[in-house]
Amino acid sequence: MWVDLNADAGESFGAWRMGQDEALFPLLTSVNLACGFHAGDPRTMLRAVRLAKSHGVRVGAHPGFPDLVGFGRRDLDASPEEVYADVLYQIGALAAFLRLEGMPLHHVKPHGALYLRMARDPEIARAVAQAVKDYDPELPLVLLGGTAMEEAARAVGARYVREAFPDRAYLSNGQLAPRRMEGALVHDPKRAAERAVQMVVEGKVKALDGGWVEVKAETLCIHGDNPESVAIARAVREALLAAGVEVRPF
């Protein structure tokens, strides 16, 4: 049994700093790097790519809505055509830095409001999946299983990898709980670690609104903007290894 451990990272912008990439990357097997739309800038992207390379961490693109002020967490009224073009643009931006460092693009994982929109909007989900497939048919799309995202990936014939979130609460319908809900964010490393093992070993997680949610995950995500991200990643990795789960890239 194995699982990948990823984090959303490279999310600083100019003089504004977000996350603890230097401490977080050694604990991971893959990272999702912001591409300048919701966070990140050219120098941050280059530094993050080089940091990932130094730790042997796989690099994926983390495209989002063009929303620097809202950190990509506001649901914009973008058409499928706009989303398709925006995702291609962001993938291409990160790919330039990876090419410079002789690294392949490992995957694509949408960010924030775009990710959540894909989970419930088949047209937007299909636009993103099509953009990833058109860029490279072998490039995996990281998504939330059992939602419109997975259906869209299958429909267009895109490769995909299912993801779960030890540091985010779920609702009984399988969707992530909105951040405004009490208990939607998990800050306790021990609790996040217990949830991670349960997700991978038992294939389920307790829902915030009661009941259990079935989980199928080849990768687990730690949010880099969580103040406890480093402690959570360390606790999750140690708990998985203790449970006999190999932590490696998908």
Containing H/E element for 137? none
Are 199 and 215 in contact, with CB atoms under 8 Å apart? yes
- Here the contacts of 133-138 (C-beta below 8 Å, separation 24 or greater) are 133/157, 133/158, 133/159, 134/88, 135/88, 135/91, 135/92, 135/108, 136/105
Are 136 and 89 in contact, with CB atoms under 8 Å apart? no
Query: What are 3's two structure tokens?
Result: 């699982």
Specify the pLDDT at position 59.
98
Rounded Cα distance, 36 and 14, in Å: 11
Query: What are 102's two structure tokens?
Result: 């002789």
Length of the chain: 250
Mean residue pLDDT across the chain: 96
Are 44 and 12 in contact, with CB atoms under 8 Å apart? yes
Answer whether 0.85 is exceeded by the pTM.
yes
Is the pLDDT at 11 greater than 90, yes or no? yes
Specify the pLDDT at position 131.
98
Q: Assign 35 a pLDDT band (cuts: 50, 70, 90).
A: very high
Superfamily of domain 2-247 in CATH is Glycoside hydrolase/deacetylase (3.20.20.370)
Q: Once rounded to an integer, what is the mean pLDDT over residues 221-233?
A: 92
Specify the pLDDT at position 68.
96
Rounded Cα distance, 164 and 106, in Å: 18
Rounded Cα distance, 93 and 43, in Å: 12
217 three-class SS: coil
| Count of beta carbons in the 10 Å neighbourhood of residue 122 | 15
Is the pLDDT at 90 greater than 90, yes or no? yes
CA dihedral of 147, 149, 154, 155, whole degrees rounded to 10: 110
Is the pLDDT at 217 greater than 90, yes or no? yes
Q: Assign 227 a pLDDT band (cuts: 50, 70, 90).
A: confident
Sign of CA dihedral 147, 199, 216, 7: positive
Please give the span between the terminal C-alpha atoms of the chain, in angstroms, as a whole number. Answer: 12
| 104-118 residue pLDDT tens | 999 999 999 999 999
Is the pLDDT at 195 greater than 90, yes or no? yes
